[in-house]
């Protein structure tokens, strides 16, 4: 070979190597420049990687509002390939960047493909925003055609898998935008952008398209399974703290109790009837007229003694939270202070008019109410200062932060030109709930640790679980379709890593039902909604147009009253299970309300079911979402001459026990379950240990005896948890756990030594141990082999036939 030829080949080879190495290794990954695009890959852990894409020469500073994890060095390898790609490899993940096209591919450590960007699928389109340069940002991906994805927040369309649709994601009353998806392949993507965003998917293309962003910024989370994805989300965006024990009890509310005497009277009535109740909610207008909207004081003369108001509720062994908004009337002190500091946003919000009637008339005077700039940390401090002095100091137990989207009426494009502390309203629109809820949580935590923060909120954004927030589904209309749609809406919401969610039991607007609560058709809907609500993280009855208290339904002996009482009592028996599962949410990033794909990812029949779910890791719930006993919305009589039935799919790979009868079924089949008005299909997975508490009138009335129910057929394990129940001492180790283990082949139950301690820990607990047997039928709780044990904290082994 001639020297000249050899030299030419060397130069070609050298230039190829140079092309392959057109990147810079960084402390956390790599940075590459491809044409006009700057691409940076940053490992947050061996399973979580951040992708940032920006225009060359464009200076930006992006501090995530959702992600609070700090970058830290991990072990990874970097390798070049002859096809001009570079690959970053951690213990769990391979991330490859094509140095010619800029396409990024994600694989597991074995090289199995997980997700790939589309070729030419990165778009940063120049756009002016408040006279500053920015971009419309869009990233396209290619998913497998048979892949399922879940998440995106709350959209009440009745869909479980989020494939094959287009969603416009902007916070609204009944729509909560959380731009996180997770796949049945065991990965998740968090699109870290706060502007209104379009999500689109078809078999060929999936993308996020946001109206504004300085950069494309997303996180790839490889969890290997759904729990792992949620764990990765929370490692990035924060863990969920414990709620007070009492919050898992039953809540009564309506729009609205018009005086403190009426609110107190509701609690008294429940106590007189011996119906369990723990939470009562005071809705709006306790402050007076709309010019004093959200004044955070008791300007309404019907609430003349708020200190006594709270004291009487507490004396009845109940708790009270109160409605607070993200907006202020023009005659409030808050408005005056915030307006002087230019901390109010200028767009039309609720209430638009000054009168307290619905609907308002166009000729009615404007209210002048404005939303505050929750993006401003100083504004959040001012907000809390008024809230603390006017309400929290009175002893209220938590917050109903209403309209945290916030309400945005008569939407105009110029509304998004409002300048917030963090830029235009357009740039940060969807993060408003995260900011306002976070402000209340952080400031209350700084004020006291004696009372756990509890926030009920109408909207949410990625990371909001760290702020003790329990979201609800907004002002839904009372009908069967909306009840059905709540199930998949809630399940996709929790798939984004935010575990606590609920809906107004009965639906908010009951205007489709003449006579409201007196209408048997509405009563049937209400009973079924309450049965479903028994198996959501917060069991809360609420609505307008008609009252919802149990005594409004009728009396004991009436079908409607008895069915509601039965499920409220069931909720209280489930409290030990619920509280222990909530500890798993806090300590192990678990999820309480579980879509079936979380536990049965290999069962293709289960993945896209939109009407069943697991409640904790043992209980399968199949709500009844159609009418069987009334006909039409004007039916005056409920007819029970025939019993309705509901089809239930039992996932494969396990056996199932009917909760009500003890009858055992093999998984992987659809069965027909009769559903009289007081029965909702509930099944318990074989190989489960279920702790059930005593019958009580409020959550903290008494601890025991605790029924330990064993569902045989497989080995089982359960961690029973307890603590002081309403402070943050658990964060410093003040809690106790008891490990239960069932050896199915030996019929042996081992109760481990109690670990940990806390103030008020009972010296002994009475356990009634029950092994459920097939085809046992004896009422609401099937009896079987029983063993009674006074547990003293020491390890104990029992053989149970």
Q: Give the active site residue among 40, 201, 402, 603.
A: 402
Model pTM?
A: 0.96
In tens, the pLDDT along 216-242 reads 999 999 999 999 999 999 999 999 999
pLDDT at 671 exceeding the cut of 60? yes
User: Looking at residue 8, what is its pLDDT?
Assistant: 39
DSSP 339-392: HHTT-EE-S--S--BSSS-SSPPTTSPB---EEE-TTSHHHHHHHHHHHHHHTG
User: Looking at residue 784, what is its pLDDT?
Assistant: 64
For the chain, which residues make up each domain, given as ranges?
3-142+187-222, 245-621, 688-799
Mean pLDDT for the chain overall: 95
In this prediction, residues 752-777 reach a mean pLDDT of 90
User: Looking at residue 9, what is its pLDDT?
Assistant: 31
Which helix (H) or strand (E) covers residue 310, if one does? helix 306-315
pLDDT at 564 exceeding the cut of 90? yes
pLDDT at 380 exceeding the cut of 80? yes
Query: What sign does the dihedral 330-335-336-339 (CA atoms) show?
Result: negative
The answer to whether domain 245-621 and domain 688-799 are alike in fold is no
pLDDT tier for residue 740 given thresholds of 50, 70 and 90: very high
71 torsion bin: left (phi>0), alpha (psi -120 to 50), beta (else): beta
Candidates 3.40.50.150, 1.10.3720.10, 3.40.50.300, 2.60.40.1760; correct CATH number of 3-142+187-222?
Answer: 2.60.40.1760
pLDDT tier for residue 15 given thresholds of 50, 70 and 90: very low
pLDDT tier for residue 81 given thresholds of 50, 70 and 90: confident
As a whole number of angstroms, the distance between CA 442 and CA 587 comes to 20
As a whole number of angstroms, the distance between CA 603 and CA 613 comes to 14
User: CB-based burial of residue 710 (10 Å sphere; 0-12 exposed, 13-18 middle, 19+ buried)?
Assistant: buried
Candidates 2.60.40.10, 3.40.50.300, 3.55.50.30, 3.20.20.80; correct CATH number of 245-621?
Answer: 3.20.20.80
As a whole number of angstroms, the distance between CA 471 and CA 537 comes to 10
pLDDT at 753 exceeding the cut of 60? yes
Q: How far is CA 643 from CA 133, 639, 649, in A?
A: 65, 9, 20
Q: Give the active site residue among 117, 175, 405, 707.
A: 405
In this prediction, residues 247-261 reach a mean pLDDT of 98
pLDDT at 488 exceeding the cut of 90? yes
Q: Which residue has the higher pLDDT, 5 or 240?
A: 240
Per mean pLDDT, which range of 79-88, 467-476, 508-517 is the poorest?
Answer: 79-88
User: Looking at residue 317, what is its pLDDT?
Assistant: 98
Q: How far is CA 203 from CA 114, 146, 165, 608, in A?
A: 16, 8, 10, 16
Which helix (H) or strand (E) covers residue 664, if one does? strand 664-666
User: Looking at residue 777, what is its pLDDT?
Assistant: 46
pLDDT tier for residue 782 given thresholds of 50, 70 and 90: low
pLDDT tier for residue 775 given thresholds of 50, 70 and 90: low
In this prediction, residues 610-623 reach a mean pLDDT of 98
pLDDT tier for residue 362 given thresholds of 50, 70 and 90: confident
pLDDT at 209 exceeding the cut of 70? yes
In this prediction, residues 422-445 reach a mean pLDDT of 98
pLDDT at 655 exceeding the cut of 70? yes
Q: Give the active site residue among 475, 562, 626, 701.
A: 475
In this prediction, residues 292-296 reach a mean pLDDT of 98
pLDDT tier for residue 14 given thresholds of 50, 70 and 90: very low
As a whole number of angstroms, the distance between CA 478 and CA 471 comes to 19
pLDDT at 705 exceeding the cut of 70? yes
Longest dimension (CA), the chain: 105
Return the CATH superfamily for domain 688-799: Golgi alpha-mannosidase II (2.60.40.1180)
How many C-alpha atoms does 239 have within 13 Å on its Cβ side?
14
Strands across the sheet containing 197-202: 77-81, 85-89, 93-98, 104-108, 113-129, 132-142, 205-210, 197-202, 165-169
User: CB-based burial of residue 13 (10 Å sphere; 0-12 exposed, 13-18 middle, 19+ buried)?
Assistant: exposed
In this prediction, residues 649-672 reach a mean pLDDT of 97
**Is 402 a residue of the active site?**
yes
pLDDT at 625 exceeding the cut of 50? yes
User: Looking at residue 19, what is its pLDDT?
Assistant: 41
As a whole number of angstroms, the distance between CA 618 and CA 631 comes to 35
């Amino acid at each position: 070979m001639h020297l000249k030829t050899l030299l030419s080949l060397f130069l070609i080879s050298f230039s190829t190597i140079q092309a392959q190495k057109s990147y810079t290794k960084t402390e956390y990954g790599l940075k590459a420049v491809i044409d006009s695009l700057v691409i940076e890959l940053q490992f947050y852990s061996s399973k979580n990687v951040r992708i940032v894409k920006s225009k060359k020469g464009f200076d930006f500073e992006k501090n995530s509002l959702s992600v609070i994890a700090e970058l830290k060095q991990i072990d990874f390898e970097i390798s070049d390939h002859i096809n001009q790609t570079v690959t970053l490899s951690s213990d769990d993940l391979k991330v490859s960047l094509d140095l010619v096209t800029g396409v990024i591919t994600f694989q597991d450590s074995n090289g199995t493909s997980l997700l790939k960007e589309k070729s030419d699928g990165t778009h940063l389109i120049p756009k002016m925003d408040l006279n500053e340069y920015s971009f419309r940002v869009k990233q396209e991906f290619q998913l497998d055609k048979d892949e399922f994805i879940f998440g995106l927040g709350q959209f009440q369309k009745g869909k479980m898998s989020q494939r094959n649709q287009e969603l416009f994601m902007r916070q609204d009353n009944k729509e909560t935008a959380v731009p996180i998806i997770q796949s049945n392949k065991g990965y998740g993507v968090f699109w870290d952008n706060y502007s209104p965003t379009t999500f689109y998917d078809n078999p060929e293309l999936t993308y996020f398209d946001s109206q504004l962003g300085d950069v494309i910024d997303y996180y790839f989370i490889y969890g290997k399974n759904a729990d792992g994805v949620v764990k990765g989300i929370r490692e990035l965006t924060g863990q969920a703290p414990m709620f007070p024990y009492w919050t898992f009890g039953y809540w009564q509310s309506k729009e609205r109790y018009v005086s403190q005497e009426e609110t107190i009277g509701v609690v008294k009535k429940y106590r007189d009837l011996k119906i369990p109740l723990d939470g009562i909610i005071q809705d709006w207008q306790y402050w007076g007229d709309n010019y004093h909207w959200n004044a955070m004081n008791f300007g309404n003369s019907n609430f003349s003694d708020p200190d006594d108001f709270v004291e009487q509720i507490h004396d009845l062994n109940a708790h009270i939270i109160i409605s607070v908004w993200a907006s202020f009337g023009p005659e409030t002190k808050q408005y005056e202070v915030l307006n002087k500091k230019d901390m109010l946003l200028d767009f039309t919000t609720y209430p638009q008019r000054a009168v307290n009637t619905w609907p308002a008339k166009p000729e009615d005077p404007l209210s002048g109410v404005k939303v505050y700039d929750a993006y401003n940390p100083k504004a959040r401090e001012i907000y809390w200062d008024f809230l603390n002095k006017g309400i929290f100091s009175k002893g209220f137990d938590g917050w109903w932060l209403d309209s945290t989207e916030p309400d945005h009426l008569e939407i105009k494009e110029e509304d998004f030109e409002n300048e917030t502390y963090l830029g235009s309203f357009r740039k940060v629109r969807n993060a408003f709930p995260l900011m306002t809820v976070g402000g209340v949580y952080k400031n209350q935590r700084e004020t006291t640790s004696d009372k756990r923060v509890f926030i009920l909120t109408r909207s949410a954004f990625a990371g909001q679980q760290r702020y003790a927030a329990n979201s609800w589904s907004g002002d839904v209309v009372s009908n069967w379709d909306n009840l059905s749609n709540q199930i998949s809406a809630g399940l996709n919401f929790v798939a984004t890593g935010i575990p606590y969610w609920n809906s107004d039991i009965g639906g908010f607007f009951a205007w489709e039902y003449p006579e409201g609560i007196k209408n048997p058709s509405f009563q049937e809907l209400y009973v079924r909604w309450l049965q479903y609500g028994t198996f959501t993280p917060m069991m809360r009855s609420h609505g307008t147009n008609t009252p919802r208290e149990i005594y409004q339904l009728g009396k004991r002996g009436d079908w409607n009253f008895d069915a509601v009482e039965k499920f409220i009592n069931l909720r209280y028996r489930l409290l030990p299970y619920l509280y222990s599962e909530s500890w798993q949410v806090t300590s192990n990033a678990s999820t309480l309300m579980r879509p079936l794909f979380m536990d049965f990812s290999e069962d293709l029949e289960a993945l896209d079911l939109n009407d069943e779910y697991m409640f904790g890791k043992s209980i399968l719930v199949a709500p009844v979402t159609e009418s069987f006993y009334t006909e039409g919305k004007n039916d005056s009589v409920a007819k029970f001459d025939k019993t309705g039935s509901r089809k239930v799919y039992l996932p494969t790979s396990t056996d199932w026990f009917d909760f009500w009868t003890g009858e055992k079924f093999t998984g992987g089949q659809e069965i027909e379950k009769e559903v009289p008005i007081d029965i909702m299909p509930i099944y318990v997975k074989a190989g489960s240990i279920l702790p059930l508490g005593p019958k009580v009138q409020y959550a903290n009335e008494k601890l025991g005896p605790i029924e330990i129910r064993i569902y045989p057929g497989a080995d089982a394990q359960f961690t029973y948890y307890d603590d002081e129940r309403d402070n943050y001492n658990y964060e410093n180790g003040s809690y106790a756990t008891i490990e239960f283990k069932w050896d199915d082949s030996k019929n042996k139950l081992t109760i481990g030594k109690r670990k940990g301690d806390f103030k008020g820990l009972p010296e002994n607990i009475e356990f009634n141990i029950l092994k459920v047997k097939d085809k046992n039928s004896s009422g609401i709780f099937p009896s079987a082999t029983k063993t009674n044990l006074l547990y003293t904290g020491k390890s104990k082994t029992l053989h149970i036939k």
